[in-house]
Each structure stands twice: as structure tokens, then as C-alpha cells.
Chains A and B, each alone.
Chain A
Amino acid sequence: MNWSWILPPSFSTVSDDIDGIYMVILWITGITFFITEGLLFYFIFKYRHKEGRKATYDHGSTKMEIAWTMIPLVIVLWIGALSKGVWDTVKVDVPPAGLEIIVTGKQFEWTVTYPGPDGALGTSDDFETLNELHAPEDEAVVITLRSEDVLHSFFLPEMRIKQDAVPGQDITVWFEAIQPGNYTIGCAELCGIGHTTMNGTLTVYTAADFQAWSNSQTQQQQP
């Protein structure tokens, strides 16, 4: 059983940023946790009723109120400011695409459409895979995310990517993997009876291997 609060490893260009913010929050909340819970348990122990104990008649302290209003406010706003930068990187500033694909969620599978040799989507040489996303490393993969029926959520845990797929909308998601390997695709929004089966595989190749795979797919799907 893994009790660690350290995030599992991740392999994309935004991993360090996201995991970094997480660690900042972990430190701040962790220290706060130990101090407040520690004080609470200490006070319970120290001030428990004993014969002759009298409570202190104290209504409060404006100074303390100001202190413990301003300090938390500053801290949380600082965390917010840090977070904004990373959020913009992931969700707002989409880099130029190395590979453009379409991912369509439907009950209960992910269909991935690749542009084929001509590099353009929407042409006759496009090909599809089911529940498999193949991508080259070190290239920004820009995804147009769609849904055919209900809300799904496209989740690549090891890439730290998650985005709801909304029927009727094309939503842009991107990631850039930094290491070849086999990773997970998941659905993270309840989408019906088969929600639990909407798992797939993200396979990241070296650039050369990806080209080889892409060629083999093109050959297969063009009889």
C-alpha cells in the first residue's frame, strides 16, 4: 500500500511545472497541518479539565485576527499567482503542433484520427486507431478533442493532462512527451455503464520509430 504523498513519475514537458506547484502546496499545507493539529492536540492535553482549573476570560484579539487573516490571504494568493503561470502554459498557450490529431470520445472508446502521410487532417489518407494513441517524443502533439455522445474526460496521467470532451465542441489539448514508453489513457468523467472500460494505451516512440509505425498503419489501412 502506497502511503506516499509524492506524485508518481510523469514524462511530459509540463510535468516539472505541475508537480512543482503541487510540491509547493504540499509543503505549505503540510507545515500548516502539523502546526494546527499539533496545537490542537497540545491544547486538548494541556488544558483538559482538572480540579481547580479556571478558563481564561478572553474575548479575542484584533491583532491576532488581522494577522491570521492577512497571512493566509497572502499565502493563498501567492499560490494562485504561481499557479496561473503554469495554467496558462498548459491550457492557454498552445504551442505550434508537431503532430495534429483528433481524439473522439464516445461510449465507450477513444478513436484517434491521424493525418497520414500528407500531414493534414480531413484528407483521404487519414487513418484511425481505437483506444490507442501513438505519438513521437519531443514533439508537441496537439489534439482536437471531441465527443460523440456524452461528456468524457481525456486523461493522460503520466503526461499530467486532463480535459473534458464535450459533445458539440472542439477543444484543444496538447502534450509533449519526453520519454518513449507505454502510458495510460483514461476516461475521468462518468459517462455511463462502460465508463470503467474506457482505458487505452498511449505509446510514445522515438521520432524514427513513430515514422515507421505511421507508415505501417498507412499501408494497413489502404488495401
Chain B
Amino acid sequence: MSTIEQEMVHAAEGGHHDHHELPFIRKYIFSTDHKMIAKQFMFVSLFFLVIGGLLATMMRWQLGFPNQPMPGGMLLPDAMMAPTPNGAIMLPEFYNSLLTMHGTIMIFFAIMPLLVGLFGNLLIPLQIGAEDMAFPRLNMISFWLAVPAGLLMLASFAVEGGAAGAGWTSYAPLSASGEFTGVYLGQQLWLVSLTILGFSSLVGAVNYITTVINMRAPGMTWFRMPLSTWALFVTAILILLAIPILAGALIMLLFDQTIGTGFFRPEVGGEPLLWQHLFWFFGHPEVYILILPAMGIASEVLSNRARKPIFGYHSMVLALISIGFLGWIVWGHHMFMSGMNPLLGTSFMISTMAIAVPSAIKTFNWLATVWKGDLHLDSPMLYALAFVSMFIIGGLSGIFMASTPVDIYIHDTYFIVAHIHYVLFGGSLFAIFAGITFWYPKMFGRMMNERINKIHFAFTFVLYNLVFWPMHNLGLQGMMRRIYDFTQYEYLAPLQPMNQFISICVFLLVATQALYAFNFFWSMFRGEKAGNNPWDSNTLEWTVPSPPPHGNFPEMPVVYRGPYEYSSPESDTDFYPQTKPPPRKPPVQDLIPEPVTPTPEGF
């Protein structure tokens, strides 16, 4: 028997055989269990989420209170904050590092590993009825590649010249020569870190795709998979195809920086626009990597909490696939002003306009799911509803920048910053809050405290909108991105009060997250104990204990129906688990009427 079969037999026998008592280091550090790896990704990513938030907080200090001494600034080295008699003032090169590292850490070390590393690992095997991923050791490698990548990224703050300062998009030639930014080693560490992280994502993607294709339980047809699994599957394909492009570009840029090649440096015959094409050819699928799993999570939570099937399941799948496909042909919309041929501007505009449609389809389907539902407005539902609401705004603002002539004005302004944060924070992060809260009992066997989460939700939702909505206005009034001191521009000086307002709201917003952090840790020990299925959900992960044992399912689950059979007339409750056998049909003989026996007189 293979090891996997052996383990299944052992799990079925329900025994704790001695050779399965794993040592601490194999159970918690170098684990091959997808559920543990999911938690590892979660803890590390939440840590980086906090770091990313702190970096943004410092940026907002400079924007809200330009050139004023920052509280705590004296604790930072002189290379970042210039000491003056009144305190420490932020230096422009540190501001540039902050904006670079905020974007990089949030995208690559927070949102992506939360959506793909946490939810991909946690949900895929459980929701399709598998005992683990197809390649558990590869899964472990995926996590343990991400850790050194993160450490390198953090270490880059400590080297001479500071951390990378050319933006998370690292446009050449600014990023190609240290003398342009004053950042030397930091820029190289950024490249190496992301290359390592790329490998982490790639091996993860291979694992997810293989698992979904090969390890679905009997009866789990493609169109009975939950939308969260579908979304993660499409995301994994995007990762598989996009990350190699990024890795190639990163290595080319590293060579330009270190050994004198001229891929992107014009002084030796290189082409700066090549970097942009390569980066955005990866970068646009990347942003769909950042939203598709969130959409899957939202569908899951909305349907369950509305006690209603997801409206238009097949359309939702088709929309996921369309977004995944169309996402490859829109990258030029990041480059409308770049100097590329204007005719390409038109072609990319058309494809970009087209990709708005599947997102709209999904939004209408979510609205229709909620319509005539039985909405339990607990915290996962609130987060998921906020996702829909904010995603609408983020999606609609995208139409402005898709139009090439309007983009002339709003490109590289705060209008773009507003758009990206509405989809990444309003969208992805709210979905992450929904997902963590919803699957918390499955991970830890306890519920999170509802009241704390509701307070966290209310404050976060309000403050978040107070922060990012006005950024639309700032952009429309011409405030550029990545600008250390906008008051140098006379026409922007009147925007100072709004920037200060936003900054204060950011400080409050960041402080509010302490509520969720507290709830997260407190509930692990004091949360209300959860049974197998606290949300009365249909999907397979809720048929096993919370948390599930090693091997997940004591016996191979059999799936009889789709995942969204809520309020089905066939069920006596308002949910109908996928694995619940349908009522036994009466034997065929019972349906055949009694044969009429002929009487002696005839028929």
C-alpha cells in the first residue's frame, strides 16, 4: 500500500498509532499537513499585514503633516529620519522606500499568501474530499520558501542605502542603477526576495492544480465544486503562467544592476518599456490572483449566510474563467501614458472595457443571491456584504481609467490609489476578514467573539471609506502618486486639510485592527467551542470535526449534489449537505401497479 493509503486506513481505524505521533518539529514547524501549512501561512501573513500597515501609517504621517517631526521618529536611524532640534523629519528617500515596501509587502507577503497560502491550503483538500494535497512535501517547501523571502525583504531595511525605493512596480531605469535612487543593495535584495517568493508560489500552484484535477472525491464533479475551490483553481493557473514572467524580468533587472547587462538601460542599448511590458504582463494577472479567491470566499459566505443557493452558479464559474482568461490581454492599460504606440492604447482599452463585464456579472449574481434570502447578518456576512459593496466602487472607478483619454488626466494620481485600495482592501481584505472569521472554527475548534467582530467591522468599514473615498477627489484635483511633499505644488496646497483628515482616519483605522487581532488570539483559548458545522453549511469541510484530524475524512466522502442547496424543498432543514445521501427512492416494484389478475369472465 502507498503511504497515503496506509494513512487512510489508520485514520479509518481511528487509532493514534505510535508511529503517527509526530514530534513537535514535524507537527508544527516542518509540517506536511495542509491544514497546518495553511495556519503557518496565516500567521506569517498576518504579521506582514501589520508591517505593511505600519509602513502606510508612516507614509500618511508625512502626507498629513508634511515635514513635521514624526512621533517616535527619533528611534529610527538617520538614514531614514533626519534629526533636527524638534524631532526627526522623514527623508524623501525613506518615503520612497516606505511606499515601495508598503506595496510590495501588502501584495506579495500579506494578501497573496493569505488568499492563496491560507485559503488555498485550508479549503481545497477539505472541500473536494481529499485527505491532503497531491504533494504534501512540496506544500511544505512552498511555505518554507516564503519565509526566507520575507526575511530578506525585511532585512533590506537595514542595509546601507535602505530598502528598495523605486515603487512596487520597480520601473527601470530608476530601479536599474543605484545612483538614481540612492538605494544599492536594497534594490537587489528586493529582486532576490521576490524571485524566491515566486518559486514558493509556483510550487504551490502546481500542487493546487494537481489536487483539484486528480483528487476530487466520488461524485464531486467539476460543477459541484464550491466557488471558493473554483476560484482558487483558476488563481493557481494564473500563478503558474504569470510568475515565470515575473521571475524572468526580476533576474534580467538584477543582471542590469549587477553585471552590466542592458536589458532595460538605454545608455547601453536597452529599452525601459520592456520592463513595463514584462512586469505588467505578470502584473495584471497578479491583480486577478489577488481578487479571485476573495470572490470565491464571498460567494461561499453570502450563499451560506443568506441560506440561499448562489444565484447563477454556472455563470459564476464562467465569469471566473473569463476573468482569468481576459486578464492576460489587458496589461497595456497600465501603460497608456508610457510612450508605447497609441494604437495599442485603443486595443488595450477595448479588452479592458470587456473585462469589466464578468466582474459585473458576478456582482449582479451576488445581489441576486442576497435578494429574497434569509440574511443572517453575523460578522462573516457583514464582511462579505462589505466586500460586494466596496468591490462595486472599485470596479466602477476602474471604468474611468480604462478610458484612455480620461486616463491622461488621472493616470499616476490618487484616483488610481483610490481604485486599487477599494479592490484590494475594500475587496480582498474584507473577504479575508470574512473568510478567517467563517473558517476560524474549522481551524481552531472555537468561534470568534461575535460582538468584538461586529464592532471591528463597523469601525473598519466607516474609517476605511473615510480614508479612501476622498482619494478619488484628491486624484481628480490633480494630486500625483508617490509624492513626498505635494505642497511644493502651489495648485495642490489647498489639498492639505483633506490629506490631514485622511491621515488621522488612517491612524484610527490601523488602531481599530487591534480589535480583530485581540479577538483572533483570545478566541483560540476562550472562544465558544464549535462543533463540526456551526454555520449549517453544505460543503465537505463541515462534515468533519473542528479541527479536522490528520487525513481529514475517516472514510472517502461521496458527493450527491452541488454545494449551495440551501433552503431546498428536499431537505427538512434550510441546508442540505453535499454528502447527505438523497432519500431512498422506493424500490421499482413499488411503483408498478398491481398486475390485474384476469377473472374467469375476462378483462
Report yes or no: B370 in contact with A47, Cβ–Cβ below 8 A.
yes
* A149 CA / B354 CA spacing, docked (Å): 37
Q: Which one of A84-92, A112-120, A122-130, A203-211 is at the B interface?
A: A84-92
Report yes or no: B400 in contact with A29, Cβ–Cβ below 8 A.
yes
Kindly supply a per-residue 1/0 record for chain A positions 1-17, scoring 1 wherever the CB is within 8 Å of any chain B CB and 0 otherwise. Answer: 11111011000001001
Interface status of B221 (Cβ within 8 A of chain A): no
Kindly supply a per-residue 1/0 record for chain B positions 563-580, scoring 1 wherever the CB is within 8 Å of any chain A CB and 0 otherwise. Answer: 010111100001000000
Provide the main secondary structure of the chain A interface: mixed
Residues of B within 8 A of A160 (CB): 408-409
Q: Which one of B110-118, B293-301, B387-395, B517-525 is at the A interface?
A: B387-395
Residues of A within 8 A of B312 (CB): 59-61, 64-65
Chain B residue with Cβ nearest A17: B405
Residues of B within 8 A of A168 (CB): 266-267, 270-272
Interface status of B44 (Cβ within 8 A of chain A): no
Interface status of B512 (Cβ within 8 A of chain A): no
Report yes or no: A166 in contact with B357, Cβ–Cβ below 8 A.
no
Residues of B within 8 A of A187 (CB): 480
Q: Which one of B51-59, B245-253, B484-492, B591-599 is at the A interface?
A: B484-492
Report yes or no: A55 in contact with B406, Cβ–Cβ below 8 A.
no
Kindly supply a per-residue 1/0 record for chain A positions 157-185, scoring 1 wherever the CB is within 8 Å of any chain B CB and 0 otherwise. Answer: 10011111111110100000000000010
Interface status of B377 (Cβ within 8 A of chain A): yes
Interface status of B82 (Cβ within 8 A of chain A): no
Residues of B within 8 A of A155 (CB): 412, 480
Interface status of A99 (Cβ within 8 A of chain B): no
* A149 CA / B174 CA spacing, docked (Å): 8
Report yes or no: A199 in contact with B489, Cβ–Cβ below 8 A.
yes
Report yes or no: B371 in contact with A83, Cβ–Cβ below 8 A.
no
Report yes or no: A196 in contact with B483, Cβ–Cβ below 8 A.
yes
Kindly supply a per-residue 1/0 record for chain B positions 325-350, scoring 1 wherever the CB is within 8 Å of any chain A CB and 0 otherwise. Answer: 00000000000011100110110011
Instruction: Give chain A interface residues in 62-83, CB to chain B under 8 Å.
Output: 64-65, 68-69, 72-73, 76-77, 79-80, 83
Interface status of B198 (Cβ within 8 A of chain A): no
Interface status of A215 (Cβ within 8 A of chain B): no
A5-B473, A184-B489, A188-B480 in contact; A25/B413 too (CB < 8 A)? no
- A15 to nearest B CB, angstroms? 10
Residues of B within 8 A of A1 (CB): 470, 497-498, 501
Interface status of A212 (Cβ within 8 A of chain B): no
For B377, give its contact among A3, A44, A84, A197 (CB under 8 Å): A44
Report yes or no: B93 in contact with A193, Cβ–Cβ below 8 A.
yes
Interface status of B19 (Cβ within 8 A of chain A): no
Chain A residue with Cβ nearest B385: A44
Residues of A within 8 A of B314 (CB): 60
A1-B497, A49-B375, A164-B337 in contact; A186/B480 too (CB < 8 A)? yes
Interface status of B307 (Cβ within 8 A of chain A): yes
For B373, give its contact among A56, A65, A169 (CB under 8 Å): A56
- A86 to nearest B CB, angstroms? 4
Provide the main secondary structure of the chain B interface: helix
Interface status of A191 (Cβ within 8 A of chain B): yes
Question: Which of B173, B363, B373, B566 is packed against the most chain A CB atoms within 10 Å?
Answer: B373
For B472, give its contact among A5, A18, A25 (CB under 8 Å): A5
Report yes or no: A91 in contact with B345, Cβ–Cβ below 8 A.
yes
Report yes or no: A65 in contact with B361, Cβ–Cβ below 8 A.
yes
Residues of A within 8 A of B472 (CB): 5
Report yes or no: B473 in contact with A86, Cβ–Cβ below 8 A.
no
Residues of A within 8 A of B476 (CB): 4-5, 7-8
- A181 to nearest B CB, angstroms? 12
A49-B377, A58-B372, A190-B481 in contact; A162/B411 too (CB < 8 A)? yes
Interface status of A40 (Cβ within 8 A of chain B): yes
- B547 to nearest A CB, angstroms? 28
- B201 to nearest A CB, angstroms? 26
Report yes or no: B368 in contact with A84, Cβ–Cβ below 8 A.
no
For A29, give its contact among B270, B308, B338, B399 (CB under 8 Å): B399
- A92 to nearest B CB, angstroms? 5
Interface size on B, residues (CB 8 A): 102
For B406, give its contact among A18, A153, A186 (CB under 8 Å): A18
Question: Which of A5, A36, A155 is packed against the most chain B CB atoms within 10 Å?
Answer: A36
Report yes or no: B567 in contact with A79, Cβ–Cβ below 8 A.
no
Report yes or no: A164 in contact with B346, Cβ–Cβ below 8 A.
no
* A92 CA / B488 CA spacing, docked (Å): 33
Report yes or no: B370 in contact with A190, Cβ–Cβ below 8 A.
no
Chain B residue with Cβ nearest A182: B490
* A91 CA / B343 CA spacing, docked (Å): 9
Chain B residue with Cβ nearest A6: B476
* A47 CA / B305 CA spacing, docked (Å): 11
For B174, give its contact among A92, A191, A196 (CB under 8 Å): A191
- A111 to nearest B CB, angstroms? 18
- A81 to nearest B CB, angstroms? 9
Interface status of B9 (Cβ within 8 A of chain A): no
For A8, give its contact among B173, B408, B477, B568 (CB under 8 Å): B477
Residues of B within 8 A of A77 (CB): 350, 353-354
- A21 to nearest B CB, angstroms? 5
* A163 CA / B408 CA spacing, docked (Å): 8
Report yes or no: A150 in contact with B367, Cβ–Cβ below 8 A.
no
Report yes or no: A193 in contact with B96, Cβ–Cβ below 8 A.
yes
Report yes or no: B92 in contact with A25, Cβ–Cβ below 8 A.
no
* A119 CA / B346 CA spacing, docked (Å): 34
Interface status of A139 (Cβ within 8 A of chain B): no
A43-B367, A54-B574 in contact; A76/B356 too (CB < 8 A)? yes
Kindly supply a per-residue 1/0 record for chain A positions 27-61, scoring 1 wherever the CB is within 8 Å of any chain B CB and 0 otherwise. Answer: 01100110011011001100111000111111111
Interface status of A133 (Cβ within 8 A of chain B): no
* A168 CA / B368 CA spacing, docked (Å): 53
Give me the 6 closest cross-chain CB pairs, A-B, nearest first.
Answer: A168-B266, A60-B312, A76-B353, A55-B308, A86-B405, A91-B342
User: Which residues in A have some Cβ–Cβ distance to B below 8 Å?
Assistant: 1-5, 7-8, 14, 17-18, 21-22, 25-26, 28-29, 32-33, 36-37, 39-40, 43-44, 47-49, 53-61, 64-65, 68-69, 72-73, 76-77, 79-80, 83-84, 86-88, 90-92, 107, 149-151, 153, 155, 157, 160-169, 171, 184, 186-197, 199
28 residue pairs bridging A and B, Cβ less than 8 Å apart: A22-B400, A29-B399, A32-B396, A55-B307, A56-B373, A57-B566, A58-B311, A59-B311, A59-B564, A60-B309, A64-B312, A68-B361, A69-B361, A77-B350, A83-B403, A83-B405, A87-B342, A87-B404, A92-B343, A153-B412, A157-B491, A162-B409, A165-B339, A169-B266, A188-B481, A190-B96, A190-B481, A195-B482
A7-B409, A160-B409, A163-B337 are known; give 19 further A-B pairs, CB within 8 A: A2-B494, A3-B473, A21-B403, A29-B399, A33-B393, A33-B396, A36-B392, A37-B389, A43-B371, A44-B370, A47-B306, A60-B365, A64-B364, A69-B357, A76-B354, A84-B346, A84-B349, A157-B478, A165-B339
User: Which residues in B have some Cβ–Cβ distance to A below 8 Å?
Assistant: 92-93, 96, 166-167, 171-174, 180-182, 266-267, 270-273, 306-309, 311-315, 337-339, 342-343, 345-346, 349-350, 353-354, 356-357, 360-361, 363-365, 367-368, 370-377, 385, 388-389, 392-393, 396-397, 399-400, 402-406, 408-409, 411-413, 470, 472-473, 476-478, 480-486, 488-491, 494-495, 497-498, 501, 564, 566-569, 574
